[in-house]
Structures are given as structure tokens and as C-alpha cells.
Chain A
Amino acid sequence: MRFPRTMISAGAAIVSLALVLAGCGSSGGDDNDSSGDTGTGTLKLWHYESANGAMGKAWDKAIEVFKTEHPGVTVQFERKAFEQIQQNASMILASDQAPDLMEYNKGNATAGLLSSKGLLTDLSDEVAKRGWDKVLSPSLQTTARYDDKGVMGSGNWFGVPNYGEYVMVYYNKALFKQYGVAVPKTLDEMTAAMDTFVAKKVTPLGMAGAEYPAGQLYYQLALSKADRSFVDNYQLYKGSVDFKADPLKYGADTFRDWVQKGYISKQSASLKAEDMGTAFIAGKTPMIVSGSWWYGRFATEIKKFDWGTFLFPGNKLNAGSSGNLWVVPEQSKNKKLAYDFIDITMRPEIQTIMANNGGVPVKADLAKVTDPKNKELIANFDAITKADGLAFYPDWPVPGYYDVLVAGGQSLINGSKNPDQVLADLGKAYDQGVKEIKNG
């Protein structure tokens, strides 16, 4: 009697995962937009920004404005968890339970995949009509447009971003002052600064090998030797990518070199991004290389010392992109209301709320941004976008590449593989992924 029951429970546990996924059939669905009259109806809106974050605060205000301008419309807002949307979006969007408007991750493996399966509304006409394309610079538009295979950078609009993000260097001004280190303007000055800290037995650069920071630093280093055509080849498959040559070889070699020189702790392979961030907040780390998503939190939580940011020294290209997208599910019943809401979030008054709370809006009124640090954050982003300097993220090109990069970063930190071996692993997974995307 024990055998069947045990076997059953074990089998059921494993296969139930597949059953859940199997439940989502084909997309289908008709386009029954009942919102010809925006005076009545319901706008079902989902996003996953925290209530006290820059985007959360700005979009709360946008909901207020929307209600004022659409007095007969009920707004059904639900705050979702990032993972909830990430793992269930395909099932939700294929069902009649889909919201009218949703925040969703940008990139080939997320918005691109869903658009190629017909689950997202083509927003091209609306974008042109409402002028959203005039607000967004070409590099910000990259993540909003997808071709029929779901590859970003060209084709129709399937999402609209209204904020940006980029990778920079956060530094502890107090520690810089204590050790007599000036803010570096070139990569050589950066290494000289790190040498100073190492000489004083201080590990200069916070790191977290178990999550994205290692991959982003490797990419930032590679970008210091890269140009736009490399980014286009790597991210948009416009040409071949050689993992045995610079810039990627420079990225991996330099990363390992920095570990060996003590710029990065050899004990950081198992640490998570949160560990790196909290160590910086605690004043233990002179510098971290990470994204603007930390900015608001640092502004709120760091009270005991002064801190600042600077762009990765010498880089014309930086990891970064538009923020996540507003997408309108194909199953949305009130598309017109959804477009109206997106339009409100693009207005300067909403964008300025974002700016004043440590966000990186795409169209803020800088004269109304009160904090000089916030102004600097936005000005740096503007400088990057104007110079066409957003290079997206290293894990974007193929689905599942994040794990490959994490494994590579950990190997570079703990020395279990040399840079050439890591690059061979990265290249193999990249080539296989690109082949699968191209073959559909």
C-alpha cells in the first residue's frame, strides 16, 4: 500500500508544475474594446512598484488625476509582486482575467516573447497619435519596439516606458575623504583609487556574485572597450559576437584581475545584491557599481555619512535602458482608458513627482526638482541618452542567460575557472540561445 501512495505524491509534486503551465492554452481572444466612451467603465490596472518608491508615488498621483478626468470610471488597481507577474504573465494575458493595463518587464524574453505570441496590443498608432515617440529618445524606444520574432529594437510598439535606469558608481564620500581619494574621472584613476584603499586594507568595491552585480561589472568593463556596433551585435543580433576577443575578453580578464588585486573580495561569490547594498548602506564599502534602482533607497536609509554617484569612469556606453513598460494586453476590454492612463503618466507633473523621489523620469521639469543630487542623477541619465549611450544589460540577449552570467561571475570571483573558460561558457550559451530565437 505504501508504494503507490508514495509514488503518487512524489510524481504529483513534480508534474503539477507542468500541469499549471499546461493550463494556459492558446492566446486567441477577440478585441472587444468597450471603451469608446471614456466616461464610464472600469480600468483594471496592475503594477509591481512599491508604494513608497519613486514610480509608486508618481503612479498613485496618476491614478488620482485619471479619476478626476474620468469621473464615471472605476479604477481597479492591484499591486502585484514582481515574481508573480514574471512567472504568470503568459497565463494571465491569455485568459479573460487579464487587466486593461499592466507594468511588464522589457526585453526579448519577456515583453518580446509575449508580443510575438499575440498577447500584447500593438500600440504603434496610439504612440504616433499621442506623441509618446517624441518624448522617448531612440535608445529608450529600443525596449518598447519588437519585431515579429519578439526581438527588440525594431518593429511595432508593444510597450511604453516612462522612466529610465542606468548603472553608475555609488561612493561613500566619508571614506573617500578619510583615505584621501578623489572622485576618479578615468579608469586609470579608478584603479589608482582602488589601490589606495587596498593599501589601507579596505576592499574598495562591494560585490555580490550570486546575483546580477558581477555580470553588470563585467559588462561595464567590456563596454569601456566597446562601440555601438558591438551592442547592436550582442543585444540585437545584427552581427556575430566573438567571446574570445575584446571587448568581452577585456571585461572578463579585467574582472578577474580586479579580484586578484583585492579590489573585489574573493569571499563575495555567495553574496546577493541585497548584501552588497546593505554593506554600502552600513558604510562598510567605499564603492559599488550598480543601478539607479538603489538610489531612492540609499537616499532614505543612509543617514550617517554623505554619499554620491558618478558615471563609470571613461565609459561612453553604460548598462541601462528604459524602465519597465506599460503594456496593454490584447484581451483588454478598455484599451482607450489604458491609453489615457499611459498618457497621464507621461505628463511632466507626474514625471516630476518621480524625479523628486529618486526616480529617473523621461520627461521631468528639472526646474521643479528640488534635491541637487536628484538633479545630478537625472542629468547623468539625460547625458547618456543624448549620447546614445544606453547599452542595456548583459543577460538580456537570450532567455535564461542571467543564470549563465551569475555562474560565470561566481567562477571569476572564486577562481574556479579562468576568464577564457568563463567566456567559452558564456559564448556557448549565447550562441545556443540566439540560434533558438532565430529559428523560432
Chain B
Amino acid sequence: MTRGKAGYWWYLLPGAVAFTAVVAVPFGTNLYLSLTKWSGIGDPRWIGFDNYTRLLHDDVFWTSFRNTAAMVIAMVVVPTLIGLVLSATLFDVIGRRFGPKTASFLRATFYLPQVLPVVVAGILWGWLLRPDGAVNAVGKAIGLGEHDWLGDPKTALPMVMLVMIWVQIGYPVVIFMAALQRVDPDLYEAAEIDGAGWFRRFQAITLPQIRPETFVITLTCTIAALKVFGPIWALTRGGPNHATTVPSYFAYNAFFNKLQVGYGAAVATALTLVIVAVSIGFLKLQGRTES
């Protein structure tokens, strides 16, 4: 038995080598750089935890994490809730009344923004939201006037959140609809015979049955929200006045624009630690719920 188990360890070797090369070494290097002062040229100078001390006192760093919380709402909370309702409606109402083809077609339309490269989506929305864009044209036509949606710190972040909700909705819809297809129809039938209405069935059958998929969506979308970069770069470049700066853009800016590689590495390390902590928290919660 022991000899048999030992034999399988060889199968883990390629994965271990790849992990070391692709994850462990780069992460170790990043960690090392975060403890140095380095412009990207010449030799890094060891400064200990100075970059982390500086981070703690950097208003922009804290702003970036506050903005990340907003991105979690826009990319996880709202799309998951809307996706849940949409998929249940498509599956249970549209699918039954108009047939599965109609439901599939509508599912595909919701998924369409996910097919677009996120930077392209960002540029498109940038056109719509610019001062002389379509959104203001409509606003003017109905007497609401004009607004610089992405140039006003009060509206820039909400607009980016709106774009991300639009981008994200299709993902939970597709996953939830696949999950709903594996729920035993007999459960719904039995509940209906017992007189349970749509909402009661949704609450008592649908939600518990699709819990594993809900965890997957929440975890993957949370990680995506924590490291979001593309839409910020395409829409606002972190502005106006850091109103939409997120940690990954903050790190990018430190690396490439300010040539503060050590400081950027410290931001990247902090972000990685947050992502790891959130992931562990989620998985523990999932394990506890499933058990």
C-alpha cells in the first residue's frame, strides 16, 4: 500500500516543476524586489520593509483598495444576484413557455459582453460616456443636460462599476443555467404537487441545489475584481484624481511610469496576499457549508 502510494509521487513532478518555475520563483523574486529600492536598471538596493511602511501611509494605496471593494460589488455581488434571477427566469419561465431554444438564445445575448475583449468593451463604453457621446445625446434629448461621466470624481467610479456589471452578467447566467439543468425535475414536480409557488421552489430547491456553482462564481469573480486592470486602463487610467485607481493599476503605474519597481512589487505582494486570504476564506466557507 505504501509502495503503491509512493509510486504516484512521480506524477506530481511535472506540476511541481511548473509551479516552481511559473509561480514560486516569480513570487519569490517579487517578494525580494518589494524589499528593495530599484528603478528597473542596475542593482536593487536593499531597504527592508520601507516600501511596506510607505504603503501604509500612502492615501492612494488605501483609495485603491476602497475602489476594489466597489469593484467587488460591481463584478461579484450585483452580477451574481442579477444572474441568479435571470437564469432562474430563463430556465423556469421562458424555457417552459417559449421553449429551450428561446432561453438559449437569450442566454447567449447576456453572455455576449463576455466574448468581447475587456479593453474593447472599455473603449466602446468610453465612446458612449464621453461628453459628446451617445449617453449625453440621449440625456440632452430628454432634457437632462450633459455630464462628463468619466471626468467627474463623483460619477467616474459608478460608471466604471456599471460597465463591469454589464460585462459580468453573462458569466453567472451561463453557469447558473448549466447548474439548473442538472437539478432533478422530480424535485420541482413534487414541490408543485405540494403547492409550492415559484419563489418557494426557488428558495427551497434551486438555491441549495446550485450552491457549488454559486461558490465557484463568487470565488472566480472576486479574484477577477481584486486584480481588475483592463477596464480601468481603457476607461479612466485611474482618474480623475485617483477616483478609479485600483491596486493593479497602482502597481503598473509604479513599475512603468514612476520607475519605482520595488514599491510596485510591494503593492503586487500586498494584492497577492489579499487574493490568497480571500481565496482561503472562501474555500473554508465552502468546505464548511458542503460538509
Q: Shortest Cβ distance from A399 into chain B, in angstroms?
A: 5
**CB under 8 Å from chain A, chain B span 254-291:** 254-261, 264-265, 268, 271-272, 275-276, 279-280, 283
Q: Which residues of B contact A2 (CB under 8 A)?
A: 216, 219, 283
Interface window among B65-73, B91-99, B113-121, B234-242: B234-242
Interface size in chain A (residues, C-beta < 8 A): 51
Q: Which residues of A contact B237 (CB under 8 A)?
A: 210, 403, 406
Q: Which residues of A contact B223 (CB under 8 A)?
A: 6, 10
Q: Shortest Cβ distance from A440 into chain B, in angstroms?
A: 9
Are B257 and A403 interface neighbours, CB within 8 A?
A: yes
**CB under 8 Å from chain B, chain A span 101-158:** 109, 113-114, 117, 119
Are A90 and B272 interface neighbours, CB within 8 A?
A: no
Nearest B-chain residue to A410, judged by Cβ: B240
Cross-interface CB contact of A407 among B42, B240, B260, cutoff 8 Å: B240
A109 to B257, CA, bound (A): 9
**CB under 8 Å from chain A, chain B span 10-43:** 19, 22-23, 25-27, 29-30, 33, 39-43
Interface window among A183-191, A264-272, A310-318, A356-364: A264-272
Nearest A-chain residue to B273, judged by Cβ: A11
Query: Is A402 positioned at the interface, with any CB of B under 8 Å from its CB?
Result: yes
Are A12 and B147 interface neighbours, CB within 8 A?
A: no
Interface window among B75-83, B148-156, B199-207: B148-156
Are B240 and A411 interface neighbours, CB within 8 A?
A: yes
Cross-interface CB contact of B22 among A12, A21, A210, A414, cutoff 8 Å: A12
A18 to B241, CA, bound (A): 26
Cross-interface CB contact of A270 among B131, B219, B257, cutoff 8 Å: B131
Nearest A-chain residue to B237, judged by Cβ: A210
Interface window among A22-30, A53-61, A168-176: A22-30
A406 to B245, CA, bound (A): 14
Are A8 and B22 interface neighbours, CB within 8 A?
A: yes
Are B41 and A400 interface neighbours, CB within 8 A?
A: no
Query: Is B211 positioned at the interface, with any CB of A under 8 Å from its CB?
Result: no
Cross-interface CB contact of A210 among B27, B239, B264, cutoff 8 Å: B239
Are B131 and A268 interface neighbours, CB within 8 A?
A: yes
Are A17 and B252 interface neighbours, CB within 8 A?
A: yes
Q: Which residues of B contact A13 (CB under 8 A)?
A: 227
A275 to B152, CA, bound (A): 17
A7 to B248, CA, bound (A): 16
Query: Is B220 positioned at the interface, with any CB of A under 8 Å from its CB?
Result: yes
Are A410 and B272 interface neighbours, CB within 8 A?
A: no
Query: Is A40 positioned at the interface, with any CB of B under 8 Å from its CB?
Result: no
Q: What is the predominant secondary structure among interface residues of chain B facing chain A?
A: helix
Cross-interface CB contact of B241 among A10, A16, A265, A407, cutoff 8 Å: A407
Are A24 and B41 interface neighbours, CB within 8 A?
A: yes
Are A17 and B151 interface neighbours, CB within 8 A?
A: no
A209 to B150, CA, bound (A): 11
Query: Is B251 positioned at the interface, with any CB of A under 8 Å from its CB?
Result: yes
Q: Which residues of B contact A265 (CB under 8 A)?
A: 131
Query: Is A373 positioned at the interface, with any CB of B under 8 Å from its CB?
Result: no
Are A7 and B29 interface neighbours, CB within 8 A?
A: no
Cross-interface CB contact of A416 among B25, B152, B238, B253, cutoff 8 Å: B152
Q: Which residues of B contact A210 (CB under 8 A)?
A: 151, 236-237, 239-240
Q: Which residues of B contact A22 (CB under 8 A)?
A: 29-30, 33
Query: Is A94 positioned at the interface, with any CB of B under 8 Å from its CB?
Result: yes
Are B26 and A15 interface neighbours, CB within 8 A?
A: yes
Are A266 and B148 interface neighbours, CB within 8 A?
A: yes
Q: Which residues of B contact A15 (CB under 8 A)?
A: 23, 26-27, 29-30, 268, 272
Q: Which residues of A contact B152 (CB under 8 A)?
A: 269, 414, 416
Q: Which residues of A contact B241 (CB under 8 A)?
A: 407-408, 410-411, 416-417
Q: Which residues of A contact B43 (CB under 8 A)?
A: 26
Q: What is the predominant secondary structure among interface residues of chain A facing chain B?
A: helix
Q: Shortest Cβ distance from B18 into chain A, in angstroms?
A: 9
Are A275 and B130 interface neighbours, CB within 8 A?
A: yes
Are B19 and A268 interface neighbours, CB within 8 A?
A: no
Q: Shortest Cβ distance from A107 into chain B, in angstroms?
A: 12
Query: Is A289 positioned at the interface, with any CB of B under 8 Å from its CB?
Result: no
Task: Return the CB mask of B40-65 against A: 1 if under 8 Å, else 0.
Answer: 11110000000000000000000000
Nearest A-chain residue to B248, judged by Cβ: A14
Query: Is A74 positioned at the interface, with any CB of B under 8 Å from its CB?
Result: no
Q: Which residues of A contact B213 (CB under 8 A)?
A: none
Query: Is A370 positioned at the interface, with any CB of B under 8 Å from its CB?
Result: no
A408 to B153, CA, bound (A): 12
Q: Shortest Cβ distance from B218 into chain A, in angstroms?
A: 12
**CB under 8 Å from chain B, chain A span 389-409:** 399-400, 402-403, 406-408
Are A17 and B251 interface neighbours, CB within 8 A?
A: yes
Q: Which residues of A contact B40 (CB under 8 A)?
A: 21, 24, 90
Are B259 and A113 interface neighbours, CB within 8 A?
A: yes
Are A270 and B29 interface neighbours, CB within 8 A?
A: no
Q: Which residues of A contact B248 (CB under 8 A)?
A: 14
A267 to B155, CA, bound (A): 13
On whether A18 and B265 interact (CB within 8 A), knowing A8-B19, A267-B146, the answer reads yes
Q: Shortest Cβ distance from A416 into chain B, in angstroms?
A: 5
A259 to B248, CA, bound (A): 33
Nearest B-chain residue to A279, judged by Cβ: B132
Q: Shortest Cβ distance from A437 into chain B, in angstroms?
A: 10
Query: Is A19 positioned at the interface, with any CB of B under 8 Å from its CB?
Result: yes
A21 to B30, CA, bound (A): 10
A267 to B240, CA, bound (A): 12
Given contacts A14-B248, A17-B251, 11 further A-B contacts (CB under 8 A): A10-B226, A12-B26, A17-B264, A22-B30, A26-B43, A210-B239, A265-B131, A269-B148, A270-B150, A402-B257, A413-B151
Q: Name 28 A/B residue pairs within 8 A (Cβ), A-sorted.
A: A2-B216, A6-B223, A10-B223, A10-B226, A11-B23, A11-B27, A14-B227, A15-B23, A17-B252, A18-B264, A19-B29, A24-B40, A94-B41, A113-B41, A117-B39, A117-B42, A210-B240, A270-B236, A399-B39, A399-B260, A402-B257, A403-B258, A408-B241, A410-B239, A410-B241, A411-B240, A414-B152, A416-B154
Q: Which residues of B contact A (CB under 8 A)?
A: 19, 22-23, 25-27, 29-30, 33, 39-43, 129-131, 146-154, 156, 216, 219-220, 223, 226-227, 236-242, 248, 251-261, 264-265, 268, 271-272, 275-276, 279-280, 283
4 pairs of A and B residues whose beta carbons are closest in the complex: A269-B151, A400-B258, A270-B151, A267-B131
